[in-house]
Structure 1
Amino acid sequence: MKTIGDTIKEIRKMKNMKQDEFTLSQPAISSIESSKRNVTVETLNSILADFNLSLREFEFIRNDYQFSKSDEIFFDFTSYKNSIEIAKNREMIDRIGAYVKKYPTNFIPYCIYVISDVYSKISVNDTYDIESPESIYIWQELKKRKKWTHQEIFIMSKLFFVFPLDESLEIVGRIEIEMEKYLNFYKDIHFDLTFFANLGKFYTHKNQLELAKGYLTRALPLSEEYDKVVVENDIYAYLAIIDYLQGNLEAEAEVLDCVQRYYAMRKYPLAKDLESDWNTFFKDKIFS
């Protein structure tokens, strides 16, 4: 990894800037570039403002146009669109597992590996009711912290459903509090949409229908705003499932229509997953 000074010099030349074009003095910039002066957070922020550059991109350039291995694992994971893709990607899971084995104290990759393992277990067993002592360990570690980073919030948003209902409600409440300040951070992940949609599906499976409907109703306008038609279809399917479970048998037609929409979009694994969920868990089961 390049020094901070070398990286500042490289970016300055990229932008055709001179040392006297910064908020800081020319001698100060010269000393920083030659690593003769320590760089404080305040000083670096001033230089980044003059560059009109984010710290994330600065570190990317500093690391020879690569993310750190930990960040690479995190961003690779978030690029997958759903849990089905994650559970089936054995190569990714094995790659993360090898990294965690080599660097067992690196917390974020460890958590991502646990999430991948949880999704695999859910996929194989076709139920949320699985055992994951690793998830319990992660929750115990994060519960002690006064505040969470964006990555930590994301991690718990993918693990809350392996806990008993009462405990999952506690975790969800903490996530919602922590999430509020990060809604404008990494907007491309659309964290709020996927979280609310997953909550709606989870609570439907747990027969907490009004709670599920509340979260799905919050997710629906977000799916339209972000133009996420796949998630939108899932939301409509589960709203119809709730309607059916509450006694409206005609809602079955909407569920099956959502299955067909997945087939029309050529999202065959999602179509089969929704169809399986419907036939296994919900069809002919009226809860109220």
Structure 2
Amino acid sequence: MKKPGEILRQTRIEQGLSPKEIYGQEISKSSYHRFENDLQSIPYHKLKIILDRLDLTFDEFEFILNGYDNTIKYTFISRFKNLRNTTNQNAMSELITDIETILLTRRSPFLVDLKAILESLLIFQQTQSFEKARQGVVYIWDKLEKKDEWNFTDILLIANIFYIFPTGTIETIYDLLMKAIQRYQHYPWISNYNMSVPLNYCLYLRNNGRIMECLPYLEKTLDIAKKEKSTLNLLDARYRLCEIMYLKGDQKKATQIYKEILSILNFLEETHFSSDIKSDWDELPHYKQKSP
């Protein structure tokens, strides 16, 4: 596995650049010599200057440093995001098992939290009980509540479970999440959270007899999903709008749209997703909307 200085030296030479072109006046000759020979660590602010001049991002530098492979944290973030939806219990169980294996030999607070999130989601899928599901993840909110600003992994973790918290707490988390997402709006992986967070908030509203309040969130999510060409989020938002249409009395049109959505999901082989909305649809005639 290559060392940081070795990567900098090799990249500079391969690009045909002199030390002066890369290190300029900011870094002395003796310092860059120590950097490139890994005799001295590189301060963050100086590394940023060097990487910019080498046209390398921090992510790419870390990827090379890790032997042209993703870091363990990045790998598990990718796997978690690639679950696509949290109704796939087999995939979540497999991910939990793999995290447990890593934790036997490595300390990672992030993976401990991710494991707790996955276990909470499994409990919810199996019991449909918010109270039981949140017991193992309350500590995560307790930590985040004390932070002034959330980073991306904070967003990733809490965005997938905030809807299981009690009324009052949910609204607080939702507002903080949307502020954090706004700060990260230019971060590569953030666009999906502009859709998934409002959709999860609508799940909370639906399960608390407040489905009609979902309308503005769903309409905004639908617009974003169209812009981002996010098929599953688009279908999710359309289905939930379909439920509102049904409850408003246009049952014939709503049923037609529901069948079209179900057909598309089956064609895409999104069996877990289609099974989930079919279950929700079957319960819809018995749905009780709370009075305003």
Indicate whether the TM-score tops 0.5: yes
What SS does structure 2 have at the residue aligned with 1:130?
helix
Instruction: Tell me, in whole angstroms, the C-alpha distance in 1 between the residues paired with 2:218 and 2:2.
Output: 46
CA distance in 1, matches of 2:129, 2:234: 23
Q: Distance in 2 between matches of 1:94 and 1:14?
A: 42
- Determine whether 1:174 maps to 2:188: no
**One-letter amino acid of the counterpart of residue 185, structure 1:** Y
Name segments (4+ residues, structure 1) moved above 4 Å.
none
Paired residues in the alignment total 286
> What corresponds to 1:160 in structure 2?
162
What is the one-letter code of the residue matched to 2:84?
K
Contact 2:124 2:133 in 1 (8 A): no
What one-letter code is carried by the residue in structure 1 that aligns with 2:111?
P
Determine if the alignment matches structure 1 residue 258 to structure 2 residue 261: yes
* Paired residues of 1:122 and 1:130 also in contact (CA < 8 A): yes
What is the Cα deviation at residue 274 of structure 1? 0.9
1:32 has 2:21 as partner:
no
Written as runs of structure 1 = structure 2, the 5 A alignment for 1:85-124 is: 85=88, 88-103=91-106, 106-124=108-126
Do the aligned partners of residues 13 and 193 (structure 1) sit closer, same or farther apart at CA in structure 2, a change above 3 Å counting?
farther
TM-score by length of 1: 0.89
Deviation at 1:245, TM superposition (A): 2.6
CA distance in 2, matches of 1:144, 1:92: 29
User: Structure 1: where are the runs of 5+ without partners?
Assistant: none
Residue number in structure 2 paired with 1:209: 211
- Give the letter for the 1:5 counterpart: G
C-alpha distance 101-37 of structure 1, shift in aligned 2 (>3 A): closer
Q: Distance in 2 between matches of 1:75 and 1:174?
A: 23
Per-residue displacement from partner, 1:7-44 (whole Å, max 9, x unpaired)?
21232234343323314258243332023444222211
Seen in structure 2, the aligned counterparts of structure 1 residues 127 and 253 have a Cα distance that, compared at 3 Å, is farther
1:61 aligns with 2:64: yes
Contact 1:48 1:54 in 2 (8 A): yes
Q: Give runs of aligned pairs for residues 179-258 of structure 1, distance below 5 A.
A: 179-187=181-189, 190-250=192-252, 251-258=254-261
Q: In 2 relative to 1, CA 87–245 (structure 1 residues): closer, same or farther, beyond 3 Å?
A: farther
Deviations 1:95-129 (A, max 9, x none): 112333544x5221112111211221122224545
Tell me the secondary structure at the aligned position of residue 22 of structure 1.
helix
Q: TM-score, normalised by structure 2?
A: 0.88
8 Å CA contact retained: 1:3, 1:62:
yes
- Residues 276, 20 of structure 1: alpha-carbon distance in 2 compared, 3 angstrom cutoff: same
- Partner Cα separation in structure 1 for residue 171 and residue 103 of structure 2: 29
Q: Is the Cα–Cα contact under 8 Å of residues 152 and 184 in structure 2 kept in the other structure? A: yes
Task: Please give the per-residue CA displacement for 1:244-286, whole angstroms capped at 9, x wherever unaligned.
Answer: 2344433233223322221233322221211012113x22435
Equivalent in the alignment of 1:19: 19
Shift of 1:237: 0.7
Q: State the partner residue of 1:43.
A: 46
Shift of 1:72: 2.1
Q: CA RMSD in A?
A: 2.3
Label 1:247 to 1:141 Cα distance change in 2 as closer, same or farther (>3 A): same
